[in-house]
Amino acid sequence: MTALTSFSVITRSSSEWIDITGKVEKAVAASGLREGICVVFVPHTTAAVTVNENADSDVPRDMILALNAISPDRQEFRHGEGNSAAHAKTSLVGPSLTLIVSGGRLLLGAWQGIWFNEYDGPRTRQVLVRVLGE
Ligand code: ZN
């Protein structure tokens, strides 16, 4: 079986991580998939998706600080829109995840959550979820 769904994420600041674990779990549950793969894809060039700790809210905050240190705004950037640092962070993190579904549930580690990453907000974003399997 296969199913494709999507949901919106409204971001409220220029750089922000939003926990979308519950929304992805809901999409998997609604599909009826028991065993297979869940692909999460963000169709944007200044937003990304990753897996990281969702127990301590300081973790996403610290990850944003770390990524800002790796990719600060630079005067040498040429891209006319002025958001090259956001494009760089998006490429570092990536646009998609492949997750394992077993017994109808996502197999995430005890401390893992799925984080939508905004790097050029605030905006209304989309997240696509494709489930494949049986
Ligand atoms: Zn741009």
C-alpha 126/C-alpha 22 separation (Å) is 15
129 C-alpha to center of ligand 1: Å? 24
Which amino acid makes up residue 14? S
88 C-alpha to center of ligand 1: Å? 10
27 C-alpha to center of ligand 1: Å? 30
67 C-alpha to center of ligand 1: Å? 17
90 C-alpha to center of ligand 1: Å? 11
Q: What is the pLDDT of residue 42?
A: 98
Which amino acid makes up residue 126? Q
Q: What is the pLDDT of residue 115?
A: 98
Q: What 3-state class would DSSP assign to 127? A: strand
1 C-alpha to center of ligand 1: Å? 37
Q: What is the pLDDT of residue 130?
A: 98
The pTM score is 0.97
C-alpha 24/C-alpha 38 separation (Å) is 9
Which amino acid makes up residue 118? E
C-alpha 133/C-alpha 105 separation (Å) is 13
The tens digit of pLDDT for each residue in 2-16 reads: 999 999 999 999 999
Evaluate whether the domain defined by 2-133 bears CATH number 2.120.10.30: no
Q: Which residues of the chain have pLDDT under 50?
A: none
Q: What is the pLDDT of residue 101?
A: 98
94 C-alpha to center of ligand 1: Å? 16
